[in-house]
Structure 1
């Protein structure tokens, strides 16, 4: 079992941040995040997530017009915003990623299954991304308020990559977060059968 400090970093003390201190996120940290998150499980090891790290001023300006009004300031203020998306042709890599079976045939030619598996597994990978960011000492601010269609046209002009959510990363300004909202108790959310 992890010690209490690690559990607090990953869960108990971790918060979704909306404001950021002026501290850079390094390329080393960005690569460390990926090197940790890539080990999170996905169905048939399909690994559909693709990450686009929006860091430069120019790239942030490209992102800005696709954000909902309430997300503009907190995204533009963040050192980095990651676009978590999925590759609609993820199955092409399955002969390498899952050589135990002909997993590519499970998806090829089946758009509904591609969309379902791509979105679900890339969302899981997005959660691993946030845990990995916390492991390397960063805070996260996940957001869903953006126009996915125009964002995808702006950043993924080949049409093969579809955004799911965005997540700001950096050092959060703890003085500017709301008190923690309540959570459901075990008995409200769980059954043991």
Structure 2
């Protein structure tokens, strides 16, 4: 078998590509079907395997599941997003822990990397934002891989969400993701994407 053939063999199946990318959509509404206990843990276990800088893993997630919590979060979002939150069985608040360096001795034992972030709030904030965003994206793909649909969004009051869900911590909200079993009637036709030539070039 040639190297090229081996590379093809290693690639995902067409069905997997459809599940994760080609047929996957961001949903605006969900069917009245709960997410089974334990599935969110599986989603996290998959998402946590994605790479972050120095394995810092700054994302901290609140699974908004109860009626009370959903209503609280919906009230802190735009009216359009509030409706989506109320309908979704779960909404994940993707937070970013500005104290992520405290766990680096465990997560990145090769060196004492905590000093890289001591007294550098701008570097801490940049890394927390970048890497928690990556982890949120991994979570979307993990959820899709496990048969869930998602609806990532901003459009909420970050400061109010931080006070309501992260009070007393050094965690700040990044973005939110609704999760569930999507209602096909809630999606729009797929919007255009930039072509390879429009969005990339070689150097």
TM range (shorter): over 0.9
- Matches of 1:34 and 1:181 in 2, distance apart? 29
Residue 188 of structure 2 is matched in structure 1 by 178
- Kept in 2: contact 1:141–1:167 (CA 8 A): yes
Residues 153 and 159, structure 1, Cα contact 8 Å, conserved in 2: no
Alignment-derived partner of residue 159 in structure 2: 149
1:110, distance to aligned residue in structure 2 (A): 1.2
Q: Which SS does the other structure have where 2:38 is aligned? A: helix
Equivalent residue, structure 1, for 2:61: 51
Q: Is the 8 A contact 1:21 1:171 kept in 2?
A: yes
Aligned partners of 1:39, 1:167: CA distance in 2, in Å? 19
> Residue 174 of structure 2: which of 152, 164, 188 is its match?
164
CA distance in 1, matches of 2:31, 2:80: 19
Q: Alignment RMSD, CA only?
A: 0.8
- Please report how far the alpha carbon of residue 170 of structure 1 lies from its aligned counterpart in structure 2 after TM superposition: 0.3
Partner Cα distance (2:116, 2:166) in 1: 25
Runs of at least 4 residues off by over 2 Å: none
TM-score if structure 1 supplies the norm length? Answer: 0.98
Partner in structure 2 of residue 110 of structure 1:
120
Contact kept, 8 Å, 2:74 with 2:83, in 1: the verdict is: no
Q: Corresponding residue for 1:37?
A: 47
Tell me by how many angstroms 1:192 deviates.
Answer: 2.1
Contact (CA 8 Å) 1:53, 1:83: kept in 2 or not? yes
CA–CA distance in structure 2, aligned partners of residues 4 and 35 of structure 1? 24
2:104 match? 94
- Which residue matches 2:129? 119
Tell me, what secondary structure is at the counterpart of 1:106?
Answer: helix
| CA–CA distance in structure 1, aligned partners of residues 98 and 36 of structure 2 | 29
Instruction: Calculate the TM-score normalised by the size of structure 2.
Output: 0.93
Distance, in Å, in 2 between the alignment partners of 1:64 and 1:73 is 7
Is 1:140–2:150 an aligned residue pair? Answer: yes
- Where does the alignment leave 5 or more consecutive residues of structure 2 unmatched? 1-10
- For residues 98 and 150 of structure 1, the distance between their equivalents in structure 2, rounded to whole angstroms, comes to 33
Contact map agreement 2:73 2:85 (CA 8 A) in 1: no
1:10-60 CA distance string (max 9 Å, x none): 001110000110110122110000010000000000000001100010111
| Per-residue deviation, residues 82-140 of structure 1 (Å, max 9, x unmatched) | 00011110000001110111211001221111100000000000000000000110000
Q: Give me the whole-angstrom Cα distance separating, in 2, the residues matched to 1:145 and 1:26.
A: 28
CA-CA distance at 1:176 after TM superposition: 2.1
